[in-house]
Amino acid sequence: MTSKLTLFVDAQYASPYAMSVFVALSVKQVPFELRSVDLAAAAHLAPAFADLSRTRRVPALVHGDFVLSESSAIAEYVEDAFPGAPLYPTDPRLKARARQVQAWLRSDQVPIRVERDTEVVFLRKPVAALSPAGEAAAAKLFAAAEAWLPVGAEHLCGQWCIADVDLALMLNRLVRAGDAVPARLAAYATRQWQHPAIQQWVALERPRL
């Protein structure tokens, strides 16, 4: 497939879902144009973008005459449509586990996503102490992550996959805020953060708070 690709992301480059797709395309070494949408100015609701992305959400990937939103759907499309390094394990059970982790992180952990939004990670936003709900969510996150990540393993599924990006970011919301994180999980998150594609995203110039 040789049609031009364009990835629309948030103007602050702080969306965890936009980052996940950016990393997926970068790992696949697929050339793409990066364009930002100012969500604070409601640019995603303007006709120019709403007519392009029917969900009016970012990230949105344009590939020729095909437009796709929702980050997990985009990652799976990129995996299927392009050669290169795999984003998911080939073993059916490990692939299912990776997709489970992605789905869970997108649908649960609301207190963490609210109290430790990604401006904490990318813009060093100061935060208050976690609420009781936030502490309970963190404990749930730690228990799940420690069960999924084998002791001594560098990755969730034996080798790197896109779910490692999502889990590392969720953990880094807490690590970067100075919250107590189990040492093994903090080390995992810090190690994953050094992935070259993640570092490309981190290096993007962002507006100040």
For 20-65, write each residue's pLDDT tens digit: 999 999 999 999 999 988 777 776 877 778 788 888 888 999 999 9
Residue 98 and residue 81 share a domain: no
Structural domain span for residue 35: 5-86
Mark which of 67, 86, 105 sits at the end of a domain: 86
Place of tokens 């790197």: 160
DSSP string for residues in 141-189: HHHHHHHHS-TT-SSTTSS--HHHHHHHHHHHHHHTTT----HHHHHHH
Distance (Å, whole) CA 184 – CA 202: 23
Domain count along the chain: 2
User: pLDDT tens for residues 97-114?
Assistant: 999 999 999 999 999 999
For residues 102 and 132, membership in a common domain is answered with yes
The answer to whether residue 19 sits within a structural domain is: yes
Strand order in the sheet with 5-10: 33-37, 5-10, 60-63, 66-69
- If asked whether residues 31 and 124 sit together in one domain, one would say no
Q: Give a yes or no: residue 18 inside a domain.
A: yes
Does residue 102 sit in the same domain as residue 185? yes
pTM of the model: 0.92
What are residue 68's DSSP bridge partners? 61
